[in-house]
Every structure is written in structure tokens, then in C-alpha cells.
Amino acid sequence: MPGVHEPAGAVPALQRYLESLPRQPLADRQLWRDARGQVQGQFFNCSLTSAFEPLVTLADRQVVAHEGSIHTYAEDGVGLAAWKLFAMAADDNTLVSLDRLSRLLHAINYFAAEGEHKLVLNVHNRLLAAVTDDHGAAFRRALQSLGLPLERFVIQVPASANDDLSLLLHVVGNYRRNGFAVSLQASDPAEAGALMAHALPDWLKLDMRRTWTDRQLSGLRASAASAGVTLIGRRLQNAESIERLQAAGIGLGQGAFAGAPVSAAGLRAGLASAAHALDKEVV
């Protein structure tokens, strides 16, 4: 019988890996497991773990995916966003190592917590140039060694990559060849249209802090439907943004007004609570 913090539904390879992790930080190991079952990483004397921001249906706030982000460890809560850590990675090799560590940490924590949806994972913009070819191959091999399903992962390319179309198309093609869906990000209608026309992403996120007219949103929705691209509003900060997206027929979003990030332990607790409530309804 699994212990209190043992993921009962974890795949065997992942379960074996989790059981092999030390229960306290060790100098020769990048990852370890705390008393709550969360996996933590070590980088520049910082303890890191995962936070998961929900991506929801705007009509009824049903979660359809989570986006992983690296946070400093907090005993209770999600800790602080740790994006500044990437600035501490002075050379490309260190940056690539931190970027891969972050994505692996999110993947392990999400599936160990029995996350049920797709997991969106960001790639740092410096990694795109630092890795000259076959983006996603190393990450694919790591996931396969843990028995994790590639179809549950969405790789999110940074918006800065939009400035170099040839590099963007090269990166998108590499991730797709390695079995990953791809999410791109747009900050204006022209950029969104160009990304759909040239890169044809699986998901395209629209930055709702920027100005979008109702006509532009409706036009993009029609183009996306024809191209088979899923549109998502990101950085939703007020009810007006949600109403305008819904009026244009865009039904998915994320941001402060859609749902706060949760820790791996919080994700596990939420799923357990929902399962318990369902059991009570059945009884």
C-alpha cells in the first residue's frame, strides 16, 4: 500500500525513480524529495520546485491544462517566481542545464501528483540558440525513460523567437519531430496572423494586456478555426478581457483572473479532494 505521499497512480518507471530520490539535499544529486512528496531541485544554492498555473475554460473555469513554472521552495505555498535564476546562468552550458532541470522537475512533480491534463513547459530563449539542432531530443529521451506520455506535453516557445522566423520554424519543426505539441505567443494581430500562417502552432496564446479590437479577435478566431489552431487568452487580469474573448468565440484562458498557480502538493491535495467529493456523490 502506498505511503501518504506516494503517488498511487504513478507509472512504474516514474515510481521507481521517485523511490530512488534522496529525502534530503545531497551535494552529488540535483533532485530530492521532501516530506510532502514534492520533488525539489538545487541550483546556485537555491532550492527549487514547481508551481502549476491552470489553463481553464472561460465559461465554467474547468481546468484543461497546467503551465509549469520554476519557484523557490516554500514549506507551505508556491514560493517565489525564480526567473532571475536564469540571469545567473552566465554561460550557455549552465543555462541549458538549468532549463532542462526545470522542465524535468515540472514533469516529475506533475505526474507524481497525478495531474490529469496537458502540461505546458516553457523553453528559455537563450536555449534556442545554444542548442544548434534537434531541440527536444534530450527531453524526449528523459521523459521516455520515466515512462511519461509525450502527447501530454506542450512545449511553449518564448515570444522573443518570433523576431527570427527561420530560427522559429527550425525550433518548432524540431520539437514536433520529437513528438511534442507546440505553443506560440503573440502580442498583436499582425504577429498572430503571421505565426498562424508560417508556423501553424498547435496552440497560440494572445497577450491580453495588449490592445485587441473585437473585430481583430473575431477575425483571428475564424482564421484559427480554419487552420486547426487553438487560441488562448493569456495574462487575463480582469473580467472585461474574459468577456471580450468569449464574445469572439475564444473559450480558453489563463492568468490572475482565471486561476492562481498551485504547488505540486496543492495539486495533489486538490485532486484528492475532488475524488473524495465524487465518491460521496456516488455513494
Predicted confidence at residue 75, as pLDDT, reads 61
pLDDT tens column, 221-277: 999 999 999 999 999 999 999 999 999 999 999 999 999 999 888 888 876 555 444
Determine what percent of the chain is predicted with pLDDT higher than 90: 64
Out of 40-44, 107-111, 172-176, which region has the weakest mean confidence (pLDDT)?
40-44
Q: Which residues are within 8 A (CB) of 192 and not within 5 positions of it... i.e. 6 or more apart?
A: 186, 204, 206, 220
E-strand ranges in the chain read 31-33, 39-43, 46-57, 63-72, 118-122, 153-156, 181-186, 203-207, 230-234, 252-253, 262-263
Q: Find, among 235, 251, 113, 128, the residue nearest to 185 by Cα.
A: 235
Residue 14 within any structural domain of the chain? no
Number of domains in the chain: 1
Residues 6+ apart with CB under 8 A from 280: none
Provide the pLDDT for residue 212. 94
Establish if 28 belongs to a structural domain: no
Q: Residue 270: which residues within 8 A CB-CB, separation 6 or more?
A: 262
Q: Is residue 282 pLDDT above 60, yes or no?
A: no
- The count of C-alpha atoms lying within 13 angstroms of the C-alpha of 151, restricted to the half-sphere facing its C-beta, is 0
Is the pLDDT at 48 greater than 80, yes or no?
yes
Distance, CA of 66 to CA of 68 (rounded, Å): 6
What is the rounded CA–CA span in Å between residue 172 and residue 259? 28
Residues found in the chain: 283
Residues 31 and 48: their CA atoms lie apart, in Å, by: 9
Cell of 51: 508551481
Strand partners, 54: 66
Cβ-based neighbours of 152, under 8 Å, separated by 6 or more: 117, 118, 119
Least confident of 7-16, 37-46, 143-152, 269-278: 269-278
d(CA 196, CA 170): 15
The residues with which 153 forms a beta bridge, in sequence order, are: 119
Q: 279 pLDDT exceeds 60?
A: no
Which of 90, 89, 34, 10 lies closest to 265 in space, CA to CA? 34
Global pTM reads 0.88
Q: 101-160 pLDDT, tens per residue?
A: 999 999 999 999 999 999 999 998 777 777 777 788 999 999 999 999 999 999 999 999
245 inside domain: yes
Q: Which parts of 164-213 fold into alpha helices (H)?
A: 165-177, 189-198
Q: In whole angstroms, give the CA distance from residue 250 to residue 230.
A: 9
Residue 8 lies in a domain: no
Quick check: is 248 in a domain? yes
What's the CATH code of the domain at 214? 3.20.20.450
Q: Containing domain of residue 156, as a range? A: 49-282
Q: Is residue 31 one of the residues assigned to a domain?
A: no
Q: Is residue 191 part of a domain?
A: yes
Evaluate whether residue 143 is within a structural domain: yes
